[in-house]
Amino acid sequence: MKIIAFPGSPRINGNSDLLLTETLKAIKEEGHIITLYRPYKMNFSPCISCNCCSKTGICVINDDMTEVYNSIREADRFIISSPVYFFSLPAGLKALIDRCQCLWVEKYLLKKKIQGGPYGRKGLLILVSALKKENIFKCCDLTVTAFLNSISVPKHNILTCEGIDEKGEIINHPDLLKDACEAGKKLVSYQ
């Protein structure tokens, strides 16, 4: 299977990064092809709402997102791992999602759904927050659900970890790391 992951944190080896590493460990053992797109290491413009994609489904901005669009069309599995920032997603990851407006157009206005390969298309959302608070993950999940629906990924599982703040603190929670590993195995299972 082709798997793409979007590590949403600017903090390399931070909590969501370490959870993603555990998830990918399980996947690597099975020999799948994994591509990572780190918004904070990429060079791309935010969506400028030029509306050029509204008739074609093609974004006219030529930058690092061009490769992402192709990968999104071809992938079978999608992982988004991210911290919560102000109850929402970090700006870099949100900007990447916004740039997928052209894929939203393609699906909902041009009625061209991405068909997907023999394994179907499935997602996994991993979220980390410092606070333990009701609805702390709600906004992130709504945004990611809208994103995944737009790129024809109808189903995703969610792993949430709350009360985790310091860089790398997640390492003191082997149960959560194990959950991330299990989530990876489940993601590439054929059911």
Ligand X SMILES: Cc1cc2nc3c(=O)[nH]c(=O)nc-3n(C[C@H](O)[C@H](O)[C@H](O)COP(=O)(O)O)c2cc1C
- List residues near ligand X by CB under 6 A: 9, 11, 14-17, 83-87, 128-131, 136, 164-165, 167
> In 3D, which of 65, 60, 66 has the Cα closest to residue 48?
60
Q: Which lies closer to ligand X via its Cβ, residue 53 or residue 79?
A: 79
Nearest to 161 by CA among 14, 15, 5: 15
**Which of 1/164 has CB closer to ligand X?**
164
Q: What is the DSSP letter of 85?
A: B
Contact at 8 Å (CB) between 28 and 101?
A: no
Cβ of residue 23: shortest distance to ligand X, in angstroms?
13
Minimum CB–partner distance for residue 16 and ligand X (Å): 3
- What CA–CA distance (Å, rounded) separates 54 from 37? 25
- The answer for residues whose C-beta is within 8 angstroms of residue 41's C-beta and 6 or more apart is none
Closest CB 141 distance from ligand X, rounded Å: 14
Minimum Å gap between C-beta 191 and ligand X is 29
Nearer to ligand X (CB atom), residue 53 or residue 176: 176
Closer CB to ligand X, residue 129 or residue 143?
129
Q: Which two tokens stand for residue 163?
A: 């009360």
Tell me the residue number closest to ligand X, measured at CB. 14
Q: How many CB atoms lie within 10 A of CB 66?
A: 12
Question: Closest separation between CB of residue 146 and ligand X, Å?
Answer: 19
Q: Can you tell me whether residue 188 is helix, strand or coil?
A: coil
Name which of 11 and 107 has its Cβ closer to ligand X. Answer: 11
Element (DSSP H or E) covering residue 182: helix 174-187
